[in-house]
Amino acid sequence: MRTMKERPIGMFDSGVGGLSILRVFLEELPHEDVVYLADTVHFPYGKKTAEEIEGFGRNIAEHFKKVGVKLVIIACNTATVYSLKAVQEVMGDIPVIGVIGAGARAAVESKGESIGVIATDATIRSHAYSDMIRSLGETAQVTPLATQRLVTLVEEGDVDSDHARAVIREDLTPLLDDPPAKLILGCTHFPGLSHLIVELLPEVKLIDPAYALVKEASDYLEKENLLRVEGGGKVEFLVTGDPMSFAKNGSLLLGHPIKDAKKLIL
Ligand code: DGL
């Protein structure tokens, strides 16, 4: 029987995007076991309705409950917006943290500078980032922009081609004339394209919410005496769609090869 401390962390996204969170997580907390669930059969979340995304989150939470995780990290902005409450409801006493709060906090660390937000259609439609930024007392200009096609580029591993550069240029055109001081990567897939976004907007400071999110997780584990400082470090990859393409394209974002992704039927 595992102790609470030895239980894994449950992390999920619609696909490879959450691996940008997992990468930072493993750097900071190398002794935690993680179950990473990629719900690729429902990709892309950004094109789904609020009810659908809530339902995906609920099913995934049921799975994490069965596994017996000690913390759930929603490594997806879209799922944080539409399923955080449902996931919390299913998990009961087990805490659930999402990425929007962390991203907004990271963006307002230095106040008074204009902020751009790029995210999926569904996240932008929700105004979640603008609302969160305002609730933190930031009054500077916030410019939200839906860039759903960038999600597909990363999910398909197309992160260094002329085509990828052209799509990014087209979708970020509204920001080119008067670029914001900071740009929140409001979809966990987007750190996979940071190098190309920087090429186009060299003066803009990119905000990757992963660091603030992992800090929040780490602070919680430490406070509750659940942080592992030895052993562990095992990551299990579960994929509702095709594990092969997830492993291939996900390796780019994770920074090392994914060898053993397994199919999961939820
Ligand atoms: N990676 C996700 C996010 O952070 C979702 C992308 C999608 O499936 O549309 O929003």
Q: What is the pLDDT of residues 134-143, one digit of tens each?
A: 999 999 999 9
- Would you state the pLDDT for residue 86? 98
**Percent of the chain residues past pLDDT 90, beyond the cut:** 98
pLDDT, residue 169, reads 98
Instruction: Convert the pLDDT of each residue in 182-231 to its tens digit.
Output: 999 999 999 999 999 999 999 999 999 999 999 999 999 999 999 999 99
Q: Is the CB of 13 under 6 A from ligand 1?
A: yes
Residues marked active site are found at 76, 187
pLDDT score of 1: 78
pLDDT per position as a tens digit, 25-73: 999 999 999 999 999 999 999 999 999 999 999 999 999 999 999 999 9
Query: From the CA of 75, how far away is ligand 1's center (Å)?
Result: 9
Query: Cβ of 256: how many Cβ atoms within 10 Å?
Result: 8
20 lines ligand 1 (CB under 6 A): no
**In testing the pocket of ligand 1, which one of 77, 82, 156 has its CB within 8 Å of the most ligand atoms?**
77
DSSP state of 202: T
Q: Separation of 229 CA from ligand 1 center, angstroms? A: 31
Query: With a 6 A CB cut-off, is 40 part of the ligand 1 pocket?
Result: no
Please choose from 11, 12, 13 the residue to mutate so as to test ligand 1's pocket, defined by most ligand atoms within 8 A of CB.
Answer: 13
Q: What is the pLDDT of residues 71-83, one digit of tens each?
A: 999 999 999 999 9
Domains of the chain by range and CATH?
A: 9-98+211-263 (3.40.50.1860), 101-209 (3.40.50.1860)
Task: Report long-range pairs for 106-112 (Cβ below 8 Å, ≥24 apart).
Answer: 106/184, 106/207, 106/208, 106/209, 106/211, 106/212, 107/133, 107/138, 107/182, 107/184, 107/207, 108/133, 108/136, 108/137, 108/138, 111/137, 111/138, 111/140, 112/138, 112/139, 112/140
* Residue 44 CB–ligand 1 contact under 6 Å: yes
At 239 the pLDDT is 98
pLDDT (0 to 100) of residue 136: 97
111 vs 10, higher pLDDT: 10
pLDDT given for residue 109 in this prediction: 95
Burial annotation 100-130 (CB, 10 A radius, 16+ → b, else e): bbbbbbbbbeeeeeebbbbbbbbbbebebbb
